[in-house]
Structure 1
Amino acid sequence: MSWEQEQARLVALLEEIISDNEDNVAVESDASLDEDFIQESDHDSLSEQNILSESEVEEAETEDRQRDDYIGKDKVTKWHKVKGRTAIRTRAHNIITEAPGPKGNAKTCKSPLECFQLFITDDMIAEITSCTNIYIEKISHKYSRQKIATKLMKLK
């Protein structure tokens, strides 16, 4: 909205308020003719018109915030139009004090097999092998040849 349009809108609103006040004064003066005295008030009735309800204030604040942000496609993410302050101190919990990379025994590993052996030990492999052999023995009676049972085990 251009400045001229905004000014015209404000003038129209002001004229409407003034005409409403004149109507109210005319009605009050007709009613007060019957009374012995007339009460006059020094307060400005326009100031009462400028008081906004809480919902109107919240709407105005959300409009201001919406002007400062872009809303993402997911309708949740907000992107600020103005870059935040960059000359601020980094918080202590965001400072990394350790060098990145492998630690402990992993530093000495030279091959993928050595890295694998850090996680899977020989005892674990022995346990897996014994459990696999037990399972093959359970299902081998269903097949005429041992070789078929082991092949089926490999497929599963």
Structure 2
Amino acid sequence: MRPPDPRQVQDWEAQERLVQARRLRDPTAMDIYEVQLQKAPTRKQQELQLLASQGRHPGLARQRGAVTWLAEGLTIEEAQITLQMDVRKLGRHWTDTQRSDICRQRDTLQRDIDQWVDAGRTFLSNGLGDDDIQPMELQLLTLQDDSQDETDEPGE
């Protein structure tokens, strides 16, 4: 890390002396100590920026589609988290309708993952081996068979 510009340090010191002199009469003078951070771009904004950059610097077709492929991977991750949260919300007693809905979502998600991995081979060539591919954590999505239906009363 390079040292700050000596002129900027002098400016900061002058601002600090001024603030210290004014702070009792005008508390808003202390606002210069507030951290001024720019809000990070959203995922969509970042994707658009990368896509626009690709358009300005055309390259191989596989490089041009990498941004979209990565964005799809993030979308898949979000879908995994959402499904995991849905499963946790259901608790231990699921209806048949809930069970089939989760199964359908899981199958769709796994299909999306498989297609994404296949597409990734285009971008990663042989860098993505079968040992690198990990299936969804089935233990989180395993449907538990209960011996009693939710509508059954204990002892029936």
TM-score (norm 1): 0.23
Q: Which has the higher helix share?
A: 2
Q: Between Structure 1 and Structure 2, whose CA radius of gyration is higher?
A: 1
- In the superposition, the TM-score normalised over structure 2's length comes to 0.23
